[in-house]
Amino acid sequence: MVFKAQLFALSGVAPERQKVMIKGAVIKDDEWGNVKIKEGVTLLMMGTAEALPTEPVDKPVFVEDMSEAQLATALSLPPGLTNLGNTCYMNATLQCLRSVPELKQALKGFSGQISTSGVDTSDQSITAAIRDLFDTMDTTSNSFPPLIMLQVLHMCFPRFAEKGDHGEFQQQDANECWTELVRCLQRRLTPLPSNTGAEAAAVRSSFIDQFFGGEFEVTMKCIEAEDEPQSKSKEPFLQLSCFIEKEVKYLHTGLVNRLQEHITKNSPTLGRDAQYLKTNKIKRLPAYLTIQMVRFYFKEKDSINAKILKDVKFPMSLDVYDMCTEDLQKSLLPMREKIKVEDDKAVERAQKLKAKDQGTKGVAAPKEEKKNVKREPYYFPNDPGSNNSGHYELQAVLTHKGRSSSSGHYVGWVRKTKDEWLMFDDDQVNPMTSEDVLKLSGGGDWHCAYVLLYGPRILEIDLDAEKEDAAEKAASETTKTDNKETPMETAE
């Protein structure tokens, strides 16, 4: 057969069509028989070659030979944004914000236009520029320069247009850009309508308050005057801050540490300044939770915002239940219980599937996508845009590489699917994994997480799997009934 394979390579005649003879003897497929092969002997092969395959109309293009545009189309990659001279802070911010589908929906309903008439229109111009930029990104897979967006940003916030000694744009703080853009959107975007009625949709004054805005319950207690009653108030927030102190090794620790702090204020009881214990508890959770890693501090000696490079781990799944008020915790429990039940079911199904696959000689079964899935609402019926479980999934990360906020390089990392991520390094868009993203926790000169955007944990119920579970349960109950022993009559 090896010899016939060689003849096939030379002649194009398939082995099953070959008839090989030597001195009147026909060679078999599995053995040479009594035929003796000598040097210089002549063999005769008879057979018909099959038709040669035709050349493909569309010639294959290898990944190594693809242009950026072809690569983006082949891998279904969204477009990047060209760096226009130290504008990576803006590009990374916009890519992270674009990962929020509700924001894109709200922007499509905004009818304002870019205006150059004055400062009073800055909110409208920024909102319109972001809307137009996102619309363009939805219709192309090629990277392009965000010229209009940059011009509007410079017009509305001249400090972002500062130039260096050689006339180039200076690097800016990405979190400052994030904050300014969100504030403009906050003043212009109206809330999205709710499926639960118009009354619920009117709870928040803007889209940003609806989906990005949280609320603290603040308690103030005077330490020096025990008889002074504690006061309570409300305090809105659009970001949580994780201060990187010596004992902080994990994101959750840094967040919890800032819920309590000592401040000095005037005491009406003592008639002088006194020490107060300020305690914050989250009263309202937004659907999208923005967390700033406070990595920069002003270094007076060098007059720069120096960077803290310490490694602070952050999770893919964040639970903030313990940071909430008791009333909010009670409201979160029903959805948390649903999520726990579904997670337990998923573990049981995985174990059953693993047990079945053990008899298939190690061949892994193909992963089947969920087709019939029911998605539970992630917000309270009377508060659209909120989070009704306290569970979050990491959705985007804005990172910084360098030693100062006014230098270095910013990059956006956005989740595509459960374990697939995209790195937006200006106009370069590359696929990444969750493992790559978890390495962005700091500890060196590599990219460090600066702003984290967590989205809501959406409970998905696999209806097909639910039917299978119900069918198995019913079959099990039937088997138990059939196997019941009937009483036997005892003969005397």
CB of 187 closer than 8 Å to CB of 120? no
Angle at 401 between CA 165 and CA 81, to 5 degrees: 75
Residue type, 352: K
Cα–Cα distance for residue pair 156/66, rounded to 1 Å = 40
Tokens, residue 183: 């504030």
User: Could you give phi then psi for residue 362, rounded to 5 degrees?
Assistant: 80, 5
Is 88 in the active site? yes
The one catalytic residue in 96, 409, 447, 448 is 409
Cα–Cα distance for residue pair 80/142, rounded to 1 Å = 7
Cα–Cα distance for residue pair 281/216, rounded to 1 Å = 5
Cα–Cα distance for residue pair 19/27, rounded to 1 Å = 8
Residues listed for the chain: 492
Q: Which residue do the tokens 């979190």 mark? A: 175
- Which is nearest to 282 in space by CA: 331, 245, 316, 243? 331
Classify strands 460-462 and 373-375 as parallel, antiparallel or unpaired. Answer: antiparallel
CB of 241 closer than 8 Å to CB of 175? no
Q: Classify residue 484 by its DSSP letter.
A: P
Is 184 in the active site? no
Cα–Cα distance for residue pair 286/316, rounded to 1 Å = 18
Query: In sequence order, what DSSP letters do the residues of 382-404 get, joined into one string?
Result: TBTTB-SSSEEEEEEEEEEESSB
Tokens, residue 164: 């260096």
Give strand pairing partners of 393: 317, 455
The one catalytic residue in 88, 96, 156, 222 is 88
Cα–Cα distance for residue pair 145/181, rounded to 1 Å = 19
- Alpha-carbon radius of gyration of the chain: 33
User: Could you give phi then psi for residue 222, rounded to 5 degrees?
Assistant: -75, 125
Angle between helices 122-138 and 147-156 (to 10 degrees): 170
CB of 427 closer than 8 Å to CB of 81? yes
Residues that are catalytic: 88, 409
